[in-house]
A = this chain, B = another copy of it.
Amino acid sequence: MNQTVPPNSDDTSFGAETRPNTTDIRRVRSNPDYWYPVAWSRELKPGKTIGTRYAGQPIALVRPVDGPIFALEDRCAHRQVPLSKGVVAGSSVKCCYHGWAYGRSGRCIDVPYLGKGKLPNGVRTYPCREQNGMIFVFPGDPEKADSVPLAPQLARADSPAYKTRYFGRTVGCHYSFMHENLMDMNHQFMHSKQMGQMKPRFLGQKREPGLVEARYSFARTGGKQPFGEALIFGERRDVSEKFQHRDVMTIRTEYPYQTLRIQTGDEDPVMDLWIVYTPQSADELTNRTFGLLSVKRPKIPGILDMAWPLLVAFTERIFAEDREIVELEQNAWRELGGDHNVEVFPVINALRALLVECGIPPASESHA
């Protein structure tokens, strides 16, 4: 068995042809009518404010000493300097420059040198929630915020049976490269120095509205099992391929989030990853990754905590390789002035279609 054949694929376009690209996927903007994480909770101390971004929109997050956090447009109405450079006073934030003050609703409630009756307009406010160590905003239509669920299950962050790593960084590429990278497990080839030689077998795909899912199994064909992997799966001495392929990896893009689970049969997953790529710059060609990686605790108590630094280092090396390659893809896109992806793997073409459908077309198209 030398190929990853898609045995259950209902997609007939498998082969070397690409579909006509009417829309350049790297120009598709993310759909703002979802909840996006913009900061870790620990970054925002009580009585402080910090500045973050969603797709070029600067956002000031404010945590009063008492009461819940709030999120405002990070530009003072007066001179457009960041409110996140300002001072938190009670449930308001005062601009650092001339002291204009804004409440939770974004309304300007004080200009120290101006009569109260003639206060200027305020700034935009964003629906804002805090969950599992992350601060989310809803950058789209605020009327929809309450009816849109924050996210599907956030890995196993709430379960004592798991230990969860919170990780992230800024990556210089469009979010679509991130989704494609994770879902196409044929890129295991790239990680062979870290992982040894792993041959993926594609088991099938699922497509539902707003969702694409790929399933794989793996067989080790060379190299030693790395410690980080052994920690997650337990050591595998048995080399029969049948046995090797017993674990199933399920990768799902449930727009705009992505998850990856590894499980054997109906058991609880040994690993459960939740990850999202919040666009940073206005062209959305950079993203900030927020990831939660939950690993099932083995039966021996404490061993996972002891080994945690090794697992962190292992996943960091993997992530560094992924980051380099997606930034090289983005760089090629810039040089070529557009997307030249020749995709031969049906599930990735399904994923690309999903990202285009769920996203917002480029400005030039949306005017047409």
Q: Are A80 and B114 in contact (CB under 8 A)?
A: no
Please give me the residue from chain B that is nearest to A120 by CB atom. Answer: B16
Q: Is A97 a contact partner of B342 (Cβ separation < 8 A)?
A: no
Complex interface: chain B residues within 8 A of A186 (CB): 98-99, 112-113
Interchain CB contact (< 8 A) of A81 among B16, B111, B189, B329: B329
| Nearest CB on B from A329, distance (A) | 5
- With CB as the reference atom, state the residue of chain B lying closest to A16: B120
**A340: interface (CB < 8 Å):** yes
Question: Is the pair A329, B80 in contact by a Cβ cutoff of 8 Å?
Answer: yes
Q: A78's contact among B14, B56, B118, B342, by CB below 8 Å, is which?
A: B342
Q: Which residue of B lies closest to A200 (CB)?
A: B113
| A119 CB within 8 Å of chain B | yes
Contact call A3/B99, Cβ cutoff below 8 A: no
Q: How many residues of A contact B (CB 8 A)?
A: 52
Flag if B189 contacts A98 (CB, 8 Å): yes
Measured in the bound complex, the distance between the Cα atoms of B189 and A96 in whole Å is: 7
CB of A80 to closest CB in B, whole Å: 4
Residues of B contacting A329 in the complex (Cβ-Cβ under 8 angstroms): 79-81
Q: Are A120 and B344 in contact (CB under 8 A)?
A: yes
Residues of B within 8 A of A79 (CB): 329, 332, 341
Q: Which residues of B contact A112 (CB under 8 A)?
A: 2-4, 186, 189
Contact of A75 with B by CB under 8 A: yes
Contact A189 B97 (CB under 8 A): yes
A312 interfacial contact with B, CB 8 Å:
no
B-contact bits for A52-72, CB 8 A (1 contact / 0 none)? 000010100000000000000
> Roughly how many angstroms separate A324 CA and B79 CA in the complex, as a whole number?
13
The count of identical subunits is: 3
A77 to B, closest residue via Cβ: B342
- Would you call A170 an interface residue if the criterion is a C-beta within 8 Å of the partner chain's C-beta atoms? no
How far does the alpha carbon of A329 sit from the alpha carbon of B58 in the complex, in Å? 14
Whether the pair A96, B341 counts as a contact (CB closer than 8 A) is no
Q: Are A3 and B121 in contact (CB under 8 A)?
A: no
Q: Would you call A187 an interface residue if the criterion is a C-beta within 8 Å of the partner chain's C-beta atoms?
A: yes
Residue A313, interface by CB 8 Å: no
Residues of B within 8 A of A202 (CB): 113
- Chain B residues lying within 8 Å of A75, measured Cβ to Cβ, are 332, 336
Chain B residues, Cβ within 8 Å of A341: 78-80
A82 CB-CB contact with B under 8 Å: yes
What residues on B are CB-neighbors of A78 within 8 Å?
A: 341-344
Closest CB-CB distance, A60 to chain B, in whole Å?
13
Contact with A80, one of B5, B58, B115, B336 (Cβ below 8 angstroms): B336
Q: Does A314 contact B (CB under 8 A)?
A: no
Inter-chain contacts of A325 with B (CB < 8 A)? 81, 85, 96-97
The residues of B that contact A56 with a CB separation of less than 8 Å are: 335
Q: Which residue of B is nearest A340, CB measured?
A: B80
Tell whether A118 pairs with B184 under 8 Å between CB atoms, given A329-B80, A341-B78: no
16 contacts between A and B (CB under 8 A): A3-B115, A4-B113, A16-B120, A75-B332, A77-B342, A80-B329, A80-B333, A81-B329, A81-B332, A85-B325, A96-B190, A96-B325, A98-B187, A98-B189, A112-B186, A113-B345
Given contacts A58-B335, A81-B332, A113-B186, 8 further A-B contacts (CB under 8 A): A5-B115, A78-B344, A79-B332, A80-B332, A85-B328, A98-B187, A99-B189, A120-B342
| Chain A to chain B: the 4 pairs with minimum beta-carbon distance, closest first | A80-B332, A16-B120, A4-B113, A99-B189
